[in-house]
Amino acid sequence: MKVAKKKKVSKKNKSSWRKHVDITDVDNFLESSRLEERIGTFKDVADSQLFQVDKTPSKKSQKESAKEKRRQNAARPLKCLQALENTSKVGDPLKARTKRKNLKNMVTMKHATRKPKTEEAAQKEKQEIAFDHDLWSSEEPYIGNEKVKDELDTNWLSKKVVDHHLRNTGTANFRVPKTARRITSKLKAFEPPHPGMSYNPKREDHVQLLEGVVSTEEDLLKKEAHLNRVTKEMFSKMSPEERERQLLQEMSAGLGFDVEIKQEDEIKKEFSEDESYATVNPPVERKPKSKKALRKKAEEIEKKNLLRKAKMDKKKNSDIVQIGKLKQSIVKKEMKLANKRNKEDKEEAEKEFKPRRLGPLAFKEVDLDVAYPGELTGSLRTTKSHGNILKDRYVSLEKRNMVAPSKRQGVRKRHKVKSYIKNTHKGVLEKPINAYKPQIEENLVKNNCMKMRESSAPVSLLILNFFLVISATNHWLLTKEGKIQPQVDSPYFLRRPDDLIAFLNQSKHQQQVDTLYAELLHIKTDLRMKINHVDSYTVDFMYQTKCIVQYFLQESDLLNSVTTRSYLSRLYKPDVDSLTFVEGGIPKCRDFLELPFSLMCFEHLDGMYNRKNLSMNVEQTLLLLGLELSNPHLGNMLVTKLRRDPYAWRYHTLASLYWRSKGNALEALECARRGVYLAPRQFKDIALLSLGTILQRSRKHADAVIVLGAAVDHAPTAENHMALANSLVLISEFNRSVVHYEAARSLDASLSDKVTHIRNSMVCFKYIKKRLLKIAAILDEMSEKLKLYDERKKLLEESLEKLLQEQAPLASRGNQQRDEGNDLHQRGQYCSTRYPAGSSEPVLFCDFVSDIQMKLETGDLSVDLIVTYLEHANELIHTHMRTIGVFEQLNVDNIGDDDIESLFNGTELLPPTDSPAAIPSTGGSP
């Protein structure tokens, strides 16, 4: 396939231009120009030199035959030999070479390889064996200058023959490496022992030896004591009783709901009340610099540069003065390096007298064989032998780096081979041959039975099923008099004794009835155990819920405004904001300033996006702060101020307070948005607190947490922390709310009682939620058990009906049972509707009550009391909760399951920080 040529190619260098640009026309033109310069132009040449008149006619071209073409092609040289032809037009400078001379001077490969070998052999000197040794002497024989091995002394062989013989007979003569003879240690092969090790030593030598042994043992004991101190003795031992008591104390910490809940004692570090208020990012005012300030700044920079230059000059002069000191420092360094080098040389020299590490184990000094004073006898005959010469020599080899150190290998443990007898061979080794005769006869009988069974398989299967049914059912009864008679309520008293299928199904129905009856009894027992659990939890719940009455808390308590007089003092200034009357003045912030969409105002929140649908109640607490928000003159003043300066953030924020006192959520949000957008950084928390409070009172608690978190980031004041903590409680973030409550209490001591009350209410509600969840879980299990009970009871009734339909009426056996002393009339009667076989019309059937029916009617399986108890327990819990006012307070469903699982773990309600500045951020300013 032909590849298309690229339309655009690179032409960034000369080689690309030569490669991709066609210049044949330029070359042709230049070539023709050079030709004209050499021979002249066509204009200067005569026509007779350029043209020729053809006077002879051209021969007619004759068509060549195929044979002629083959002959011409055969005369031409082969194409494969065209590469050998000389295409050069330059003649050969040498004379013609004849073929004979070429053959004469040609050297074959055979002669070329043979010649060096013959020359090398001729240059070698012949080695003659000098027989300069007496063969009959008793000295060791030599062949040449080499000694012959002992095992081959009788053979007159050379070394090559001996090596070949040893290598091929299995006893190879290995060459010893040169490193084996190299000495790596300067230790002596034999070191004299310590003088104190003598059998009759001097007193001073023996005491010196004992002191060395004692110091070695003391070092080992000291090392062992150090290891015990840093491992075993670091951990104290504890008795099981003390461990159980400590575990019980730790697990029961914080569970005392029967006493007053005081969480202040659990706080590890209180926030300092005298700590001065300081923002995380202090406000900064940007003022343009004047020309004078810029000029002074330039002068200071120039002065600094001059001082830096003078300092550099001074340093250069000092360096020149310190040349002598530099020389001394150089001499000291050289002396230090020389000392270091001498030390290293000394260490290298000492290494030659120390053992090296040749393997995985390092060399260890062997303990000295010491004879204690009581063992010294002073006589060589009575002294006790110590040590081992072979062991001493082996240790010396290890010490002199001739053998790698190793440890003594004990007896290798091998797994014991467990022998056992196969099942097919057990009898062979245990019993005699005569003992197998009964077994052989039994096998023969079984084989005959199998043959008979194959011939009559259906009949044998039916008989087998019949006997299985009879053997699995309790039909017969042994009386006190010793008589064997059928039971009164036996399922095998059939209406149709000749129906074999019905006879076989009776056992299955009877087994189903017994199984279902046992299962119903088990379910009822389980329900009674569940009732005991519900009783214990209910009693405990009703006793512990008294904390609700003590720490009563409504949702309205958390929705109340946290605006204080100090907050208003930063916002409202009476001397500046004088009240002026304007007819019909209503401060609608939308009429004074159009605010575009801005993330700075948290427009992405759901409450801000759907603010037209919000509603809130009148904020009564604002009317108690001394500012007459309900006064119409305040609205008139705000209208006047906003007309003069629509970008004043204070008046927009005051307008939001005005609408909060009126209960208008939309207008309050619009004014608060503008206050947030226009407020400077140092006052932005005031507008954010107003915006968050509006969202909180409009039931947008999640949005309020984000806005109030931004207010805390800007200024962690007590009002901001308190408002954020209330919002976190409303969304069930109890642990985070505790942190902000503690921060608010540390900043404002007047909030201590309120914070304590809210914290105790939260703990109480969490405990109630935990108990309610446990009771609800048990009730759900009981409900599922009751459903299962109904299903199994229906199955029991169906199986019992099938059993009774095939059973013969008890009335037909009444006379016989009455004679035996069992009157069936004492059982009672029942009636049911049945459909006879082959008929679609129902028939009323009455009979005496059977044993299983009597069990069902005696109340053993009745669960009516259990259902009544569950209804009563549910009503009791609801009544108690209504009495103590649980439903009037916080919504219990808001408490999350994660908080219940982590309840009372010892660290849940403790603030994790020590100062308001270190409290983690809940939200941020966009």
Stretch 505-524: mean pLDDT, rounded? 79
Burial 239-269, CB ≥16 within 10 A → b, else e: eeeeeeeeeeeeeeebeebeeebebeeeeee
User: Which position has the higher pLDDT, 571 or 284?
Assistant: 284
**Confidence at residue 571, expressed as pLDDT on a 0 to 100 scale:** 66
The residue ranges of every structural domain in the chain are 146-175, 176-222+296-376+387-405, 547-747+908-918
Q: What is the mean pLDDT of residues 503-510?
A: 74
Please determine, for residue 922, whether its predicted confidence score (pLDDT) is greater than 60: no
Please count the CA atoms within 13 angstroms of the CA of 354 that sit on its side-chain side: 10
CB 710 within 8 A of CB 688: yes
DSSP string, 234-303: TS----HHHHHHHHHHHHTTT--TTS----GGG-SSPPPTTPPP--SS------PPPHHHHHHHHHHHHH
How many whole angstroms separate alpha carbon 744 and alpha carbon 724? 10
Chain center to CA of 826: 73
pLDDT of 391-430, one tens digit each? Answer: 999 999 999 998 999 988 877 777 788 887 777 766 554 4
* 199-212 tens-digit pLDDT: 889 989 999 999 99
> Among the listed ranges 411-420, 752-761, 824-833, 868-877, which one has the minimum average pLDDT value?
824-833
Q: What is the pLDDT of residue 450?
A: 52
Of residues 457 and 507, more confidently modeled: 507
Q: Out of 38-52, 146-160, 904-918, pick the least confident.
A: 904-918
Q: Where do runs of H (alpha helix) occur along 174-202?
A: none
Up-side HSE of residue 5: CA atoms within 13 Å toward CB?
2
Triad 175, 177, 182: Cα angle to 5°: 140
Look at the domain 547-747+908-918 and name its fold: 1.25.40
pLDDT at 123 over 80: no
Q: Amino acid identity of 566?
A: S
Residue 595's contacts (CB-CB under 8 Å, 6 or more residues apart) are: 601, 673, 674, 677
DSSP secondary structure, 48-110, as one string: HHH-----SPPPPPPPPPHHHHHHHHHHSPPGGGGGGS----SPPSSPPPPHHHHHHH---HH
Choice among 70-74, 393-397, 895-899 with the minimum mean pLDDT: 895-899
Tell the burial category of 427 from Cβ atoms under 10 Å away from its Cβ (0-12, 13-18, 19+). middle
582 pLDDT above the threshold of 60: no
With a cut of 70, say whether residue 454 has pLDDT above it.
Answer: no
- Among 319-328, 733-742, 811-820, which range has the highest average pLDDT? 319-328
**Residue 474 pLDDT level (bands cut at 50, 70, 90):** low
- Quickly state the pLDDT bin for 831 (edges 50, 70, 90): low
pLDDT greater than 60 at residue 753: yes
**Residue 330 confidence (pLDDT):** 94
Q: What is the pLDDT of residues 651-704, one digit of tens each?
A: 888 888 888 877 788 888 888 888 888 888 888 888 888 888 888 888 888 888
Distance of alpha carbon 88 from alpha carbon 81, whole angstroms: 16
pLDDT in tens, 206-256: 999 999 999 999 999 999 999 988 888 887 778 888 888 888 888 878 765
CA dist., res. 122 & res. 113, Å (int): 15
When the pLDDT of each residue in the chain is averaged and rounded to a whole number, the result is: 72
Closest CA to 757 of 542, 558, 545: 558
Percentage of the chain exceeding pLDDT 90: 11
Q: Which of 577, 588, 591, 601 has its CA nearest to residue 684?
A: 601
